[in-house]
Homo-oligomer: A and B are copies of this chain.
Amino acid sequence: MSNSLDDVVSGALGVLDTHGLEFCSMRRVASALGVQPSALYHHVPDKQTLLALMADRIVADVHAPVDGSREQRALAVCHGLRDAMLSIRDGADVVATASAFRLGASGIESDLAEVLGDRDGARTLLLYVFGHTQATQDHRLASAVGVLEADPDLDASFDRGLAIVMRGLAD
């Protein structure tokens, strides 16, 4: 059976979730799809592009709700983003790296900027969400492996930091 680009992205996300970013190689993705490594290059010019497509898919369903106050809508986006990234192994690393590369050009940053009416505020909030979620996920992995003790406060810490940034944005 022929694979489509969507199949390739799905296959890559499967490898990511079961083996982690470190082992998410073009060769592994190819073998998960039952295909030679070189076949992937028919769908994608390079690995970086594949990672960007994976990032897009991870956050694809994150949108601002239509009603609520500005603050409520912004918080919903931040929590949705965090949950989406945490829902897949190393998701935060994948999304944060891809997003750092196109700051200002991401759909979510525009969404957030529209909700808040503040481009700098949107960027600041987004960078915070990426950074904290990445740290949370790395920390969880490390404590699962046993190199660090678990920090049960990370979710509360996220909300407290979010509150700090939102307070700075209040008009």
By a beta-carbon cutoff of 8 Å, the part of chain A in contact with chain B is: 96, 99-104, 120-121, 123-124, 127-128, 130-132, 134-135, 138-139, 142, 148, 151, 157, 160-161, 163-169
Contact B124–A128 (Cβ < 8 Å): yes
Contact B161–A169 (Cβ < 8 Å): no
Of B132, B163, B168, which is within 8 A of A167 by CB? B168
Known: A130-B131, A157-B120. A100 touches B164 (CB 8 A): no
Q: How far is the CA of A127 from the CA of B128 in the complex (A)?
A: 6
Nearest-neighbour CB distance to chain B for A5, whole angstroms, equals 21
Q: How many identical subunits does the complex contain?
A: 2
Chain B residues closer than 8 Å to A165, beta-carbon distance = 124, 164-165, 168
Chain B residues closer than 8 Å to A132, beta-carbon distance = 123-124, 127
Known: A134-B100, A166-B168. A127 touches B127 (CB 8 A): yes
Chain B residues closer than 8 Å to A164, beta-carbon distance = 120-121, 124, 165, 168-169
Known: A120-B161, A164-B121, A165-B165. A135 touches B127 (CB 8 A): yes
Chain B residues closer than 8 Å to A148, beta-carbon distance = 102
Q: How far is the CA of A127 from the CA of B142 in the complex (A)?
A: 19
Chain B residues closer than 8 Å to A163, beta-carbon distance = 168
Nearest-neighbour CB distance to chain B for A78, whole angstroms, equals 13
Contact B169–A120 (Cβ < 8 Å): no
Nearest-neighbour CB distance to chain B for A83, whole angstroms, equals 18
